[in-house]
Chain A
Amino acid sequence: MLALTLSLALGTPAQAQDADVHEPSPAERARPDDSVAGSEKLLLTAGVSELEGAAGGGLTPWAVIGGYGTRDQIGASAFYTRVNVPDYHLDGAGALIGFLDRIEFSVAQQRFDTEAVGAALGLGRGFTFRQNIIGLKVKLAGDAVLEQDSWLPQLSVGAQFKKNDRGAVLEAIGAKDDHGIDFYASATKLYLAQSILANVTLRFTRANQIGILGFGGDRNDNYTAQLEGSLAWLLSRNLAIGAEYRMKPDNLGIAGEDDWFDAFIAWAPGKHVSLTLAYADLGNIVIKDRQRGLYASVQIGF
């Protein structure tokens, strides 16, 4: 429906222009597959689902619009992610829908289980923070995949509205809010001749540990700019390896926070499923240092 009104509004330039007497050939009578729910993007070019639900790498959003829908289609995907580090684990699940390769809308929920640390802090063993995230991303310019002769990357801006369910605990540890909005701008480019994909994201955020420990703190309560990046090397049409980096603020006096890193392998046996495995270094989380472990994610595309 939306696709229909939008495509009507944008119009199809110069179609019925030729008024000459011309008998259309069979090729000219052929018509493209106009199905609105589609999956005609090339394999893996829609990224996977990052931890917060947007299309991207594992830790950071990319400028690509999620789902395999092209510029006249609607695509969608859903994901489940599990991160296991020595003293905690995180489950994330969500879904996104991409409209006309232009606008992406995503929802996600994260559950961060404090395991034994919860007991040590007097919260109870297995005390869990739950965060809901609604994401919106709009492509502004460029095409990461097709514009191979242009230096211009695909550019998008986005916002993530986050709400944590543990307001009282967050206040006790010095966070100023249990909800917040991250804003970001991403630039993504596929260097096809080199079989390399690069992404840079600049995020403006007040989030502590991406919001799991609330927003703002005693040490800093303002938005700060954080740099995130992904570099992927395509090994085949359905296999990529790479690394990511995500800078984070350090707002809380009692819980130092580190930047995040990962090294990943992503495999898409087809357009309907992709698997991502990563080794992630999440640094210090509250009272536990050196939180490194496995990140596993499965994404289903429609």
Chain B
Amino acid sequence: MKAGSILLNALLLGVLGAGLTIGQFGRADENPAPADPALLPVFEQFGGKPGIDALMEDFMIRLIDDPRTRDYFAEADQKHIKQMLAEQFCVILGGPCTYTGKGMKETHARLAINEGGFNALVEDLQLAMDMHKIPFRAQNKLLAKLAPMHREIVTRP
């Protein structure tokens, strides 16, 4: 029947699509801190650099509390990671900072992070931002910049 062959085509396309997305690894490191001067008002909503620094404290506490992310961070150099993250967020939000850390691909290449781990970190960041009374729409403006980094950070599968 005609209907059946359309469905078969759809399924084939689906399998092809899967192949294509899986096949797109191996591009060059992207800019880990793409500055967007238009986000300066959002930077203010985060409370500037001091606000971001304070946010990092509670963010890290959550990451270590969360069984999905704990093992990654518990014995890592937390102070350094918080510092780098704060610089990174500051630059992205158009703030007067310089990011002195490494690329996202390089940093996370050996960590075997899956999509669930990535989303877990996003959830923990959201909770920390809630705690710091950062408006939902401002949160989303930052998350929109971070989300594409999944391509470099998620290496499994």
B-contacting residues of A (Cβ < 8 Å)?
A: 7, 10-15, 18, 24-34, 38, 40-43, 70-73, 101-103, 136, 138-141, 145-150, 155, 157-159, 181, 183, 192-193, 195, 234-237
Contacts and interface: CB of A to CB of B under 8 A. Distances in A.
Contacts of B74: 26
A38 B119 CA distance: 12
Given A40-B119, A70-B119, A157-B13, A195 B140 contact: yes
Nearest to A180: B3
Given A138-B14, A146-B148, A32 B137 contact: no
Interface stretch (B53-61, B88-96, B120-128): B120-128
B21 A141 contact: yes
A183 B6 CA distance: 9
Interface in B3-52: 3, 6-7, 10-11, 13-14, 16-18, 20-22, 25-26
B85 interface: no
Contact of B113 (A29, A32, A149): A32
A74 to B, nearest CB: 12
B65 interface: no
A178 B68 CA distance: 49
B112 interface: yes
Of B14, B21, B136, most buried by chain A (CB within 10 Å of CB) is B14
A117 to B, nearest CB: 32
A101 B136 CA distance: 26
B71 A31 contact: yes
Contacts of B133: none
A22 to B, nearest CB: 8
B106 interface: no
A181 to B, nearest CB: 5
Contacts of B16: 140
Nearest to B120: A40
Interface of B: 3, 6-7, 10-11, 13-14, 16-18, 20-22, 25-26, 67-68, 71-76, 110-117, 119-120, 122-123, 126, 136-137, 140-141, 143-145, 147-148, 150, 155-157
A31 B150 CA distance: 17
Contact of A42 (B21, B114, B123, B141): B123
A29 B113 CA distance: 11
Q: Majority SS of interface residues in chain A? A: loop
Contacts of B126: 237
B10 A157 contact: yes
A79 to B, nearest CB: 23
Given A140-B17, A150-B148, 6 more contacts: A15-B155, A32-B68, A41-B119, A145-B147, A148-B148, A159-B3
Contacts of A236: 136
Give the interface centre of B10, B11, B76 by most chain A CB atoms within 10 Å. Answer: B10
B110 A136 contact: no
Contacts of A157: 10, 13-14
23 contacts: A10-B157, A14-B26, A15-B112, A26-B74, A26-B76, A27-B71, A27-B72, A27-B73, A33-B114, A38-B116, A40-B117, A40-B120, A42-B122, A70-B115, A73-B116, A101-B115, A102-B18, A147-B148, A148-B143, A148-B145, A159-B3, A192-B147, A195-B137
A49 to B, nearest CB: 21
Contacts of B141: 192-193
Contacts of B116: 32-33, 38, 40, 70, 72-73
B114 A149 contact: no
Contacts of B22: 10-11, 13
Contacts of A14: 25-26, 155
A182 to B, nearest CB: 10
In the A-B complex, the 8 residue pairs with the smallest Cβ-Cβ separation, listed nearest first, are A40-B116, A138-B14, A30-B71, A26-B75, A192-B144, A140-B17, A70-B115, A193-B144
B148 A32 contact: no
Nearest to A102: B18
Contacts of B21: 141
B144 A13 contact: no
B115 A71 contact: yes
Query: Max chain A CB contacts within 10 Å: which of B11, B13, B110, B113?
Result: B110
